[in-house]
Structure 1
Amino acid sequence: MLAVFEKSPVLVLNADYRPLSYFPLSLWSWQDAVKAVFLDRVNVVSEYEREVHSPTCSFRLPSVISLKEYAPTARKPAFTRFNVFLRDHFTCQYCGQRFAVHDLTFDHVVPRSRGGRTEWLNVVAACGTCNLRKANRTPQEADMPLIRQPYRPNSHQLQDQGRRFPPNYLHESWRDFLYWDSELEQ
């Protein structure tokens, strides 16, 4: 029975009913969600059909919860390898092919040996083949123009990017809160 509940992740929304993050999607275990419900820190927005029982009560497991207090999002996203890949759509910025995270590297547009810094404006996602081909040269010297110039994204841009890459598991009760590439009526 416990295995069934392990497959009951809970989508966590901020107080404004937007996911705390899209990539990775803001999920809690059902145990953490139940604890937050009993501590009155969250509102239950939607529930699974599954129930849990205690000696004194039973209730349905939450599938979507919202925080009672708004949690501000970071204005400046962290400069991480994953966030660079997310900014660049998991696409090599030289050949234009999309890759899985484990098949990407990041490349310094101006090589570090030439004073290039490891920062948003000088790092792009690259596949291993293109990274080796470019080597210790600039894109111009290697005759490998960039598909898109690197830029410093804000949190909203990364969140928007994350929405384009849905996770493997999406419960039907989550869809109204995620807006996966859906156009809203005017």
Structure 2
Amino acid sequence: MAIQTLVLNSDFRPLSCNPPSSWHWKDAVTAIILNRVSLVAEYDQVVRSPSVTMRVPSVVALKQYQRLDGWPAFTRFNIYCRDKWLCQYCGRRFSSDALTFDHVQPRSRGGKSSWENIVAACAPCNHRKANRTPSEAGMKLLRPPYTPTRRELVMAAPRYPQSDVHHSWLDFLYWDSELES
């Protein structure tokens, strides 16, 4: 299930509108369980664990206000935006649900989960590289990982037509608001 959850700041405004600030639904469920966000809206789909049954969150709001100046959030979606949905090893374009992310310097060797060490990768390239550096695996990066600016991510992000988002997001993204003349 490649369902996204819209993430709002604690003032119920999106952290960004283009692309809409979103998390994978699993990350949103984790944040709800850890009491980091408030549930605002749900999808009809249900997920179950041995002890919990809940509907998949559609919209959540952060409990602590996040200032929007500075660098963009370090998220899987933003990594894919920065890398333009291209595997950074083979150069082919993939959808979000077909991409993984790869630690250039493997975690087992002290590599951190950071903008400067993670790239988008397709599963075959990620498996081929395995627990090695790109040079050890005989693979070359299209470009080294780096921290993007918010503007760069907005320019790289796909445009979301209103028909492509769940109806529960519309009130928060303001697409259905009449413009003043």
Please state which band the TM-score falls in when normalised by the shorter chain. 0.5 to 0.7
- Rounded to whole Å, the distance in 1 between the matches of 2:75 and 2:160 is 20
Which of 17, 22, 25 is equivalent to 1:21? 17
Paired with 1:168 and 1:125, the residues of 2 have a C-alpha distance of 24
Return the alpha-carbon distance in structure 2 between the equivalents of residues 81 and 114 of structure 1: 22
Aligned to 1:133: 128
Aligned residue type for 2:159: P
CA distance in 2, matches of 1:21, 1:157: 14
Contact 1:73–1:155 at 8 Å: present in 2 too?
A: no
Partner of 1:39: none
Deviation at 1:24, TM superposition (A): 2.6
The structure 2 residue matched to 1:118, chosen from 94, 107, 113, is 113
Which residue of structure 2 lines up, in the alignment, with residue 89 of structure 1?
84
**Residues 1:102 and 2:108 aligned together:** no
Structure 2 portions without partners, runs of 5+: 1-15, 22-66, 164-174, 176-181
Cα deviation for residue 166 of structure 1 reads 2.2
Moved over 6 A (4+): none
Counterpart CA distance in 2 for 1:86 and 1:77 is 11
How many aligned positions are there?
107
TM-score scaled to structure 2, two decimals?
0.54
Q: 2: CA distance between counterparts of 1:21 and 1:75? A: 17
Amino acid at match of 2:136: E
Structure 1, unmatched stretches of 5+, are 1-19, 26-71, 175-186
1:166 pairs with 2:163: no
- In the alignment, the residues of structure 2 paired with residue 78 and residue 144 of structure 1 have an alpha-carbon distance, to the nearest angstrom, of 28
Q: Secondary structure at the match of 2:72?
A: coil
- Aligned identity (percent) is 52
Matched to 2:17, the amino acid is S
1:152 aligns with 2:137: no
SS for the counterpart of 1:105 is: strand
Paired amino acid for 2:135: Q
Please give the alpha-carbon distance, in whole angstroms, between the structure 1 residues aligned to 2:72 and 2:145.
Answer: 15
Aligned to 2:170: none
